[in-house]
Amino acid sequence: DQQVKQNSPSLSVQEGRISILNCDYTNSMFDYFLWYKKYPAEGPTFLISISSIKDKNEDGRFTVFLNKSAKHLSLHIVPSQPGDSAVYFCAVRSLIQGAQKLVFGQGTRLTINP
Amino acid sequence: DTGVSQNPRHKITKRGQNVTFRCDPISEHNRLYWYRQTLGQGPEFLTYFQNEAQLEKSRLLSDRFSAERPKGSFSTLEIQRTEQGDSAMYLCASSLVSFSTDTQYFGPGTRLTVL
């Protein structure tokens, strides 16, 4: 069973516009949420995280929104830049259960067009 | 560079052979994780260590897989009698446990191809 879903395998956005990547999860015990970016031939790079006590966290051009009632997570990138082209993974964790492992979505390939 | 390093970066082997991968975590990180990623999927958890102790293993980690972290520093992941289904990217991550949640930092991975 897929506990974390990223329903868009790919997304294409024009440079300078907003990129919105989405993620849905099924288990209400998940209480810590992260986004990673992955370039080809590299490991995932941590971008931004949010705990379940918040509904928004911002870091420069990156903002993560959490809707706990909908079990939905999104990452906004604004303005989008060509260097943002990569595969983006959302990942979740259950701190309250003491779980150390991350559960990842399938990823969304973001392409920023000049 | 003081990030997570993994060796080798690529490994091609024949079915039935044994392979061993090495991961060197970020210095002073006390947790080390192994994940596996197949094409079109996100990384899947295999196992993790806190210092020398292996504290959790996934059902994905069959009897042919073994991981060690003998001195609480580097770790090795061995796959015995490799099968074609073992072909994947094997990722290592490390983190430092603190009072708040710890962020996992990933290495570049070892790509295994079983012929």
Q: What is the pLDDT of residues B52-69, one digit of tens each?
A: 999 888 888 889 999 999
What CA–CA distance (Å, rounded) separates B58 from B63? 11
What are the angstrom distances between the C-alpha of A30 and each of A11, A26, A76, B109? 26, 9, 21, 26
- Measure CB to CB from residue A104 to each of B42, B56, B107 and give the nearest one: B42
Q: Residue A82 corresponds to which tokens in the numbers above?
A: 């060509």
CA gyration radius, chain B: 14
d(CA A57, CA A66): 9
pLDDT category at B36 given cuts 50, 70, 90 is very high
Confidence of residue A31 (pLDDT cuts 50, 70, 90): confident
For residue B1, what pLDDT band results from cuts at 50, 70 and 90? low
Sign (positive/negative) of CA torsion A12, A15, A17, A22? positive
Tell me if A34 and B42 make a contact (CB, 8 A cut-off): no
Rounded to an integer, what is the distance from CA A108 to the centroid of its chain?
Answer: 9
Which residue of chain A is at minimal alpha-carbon distance from B45?
A: A101
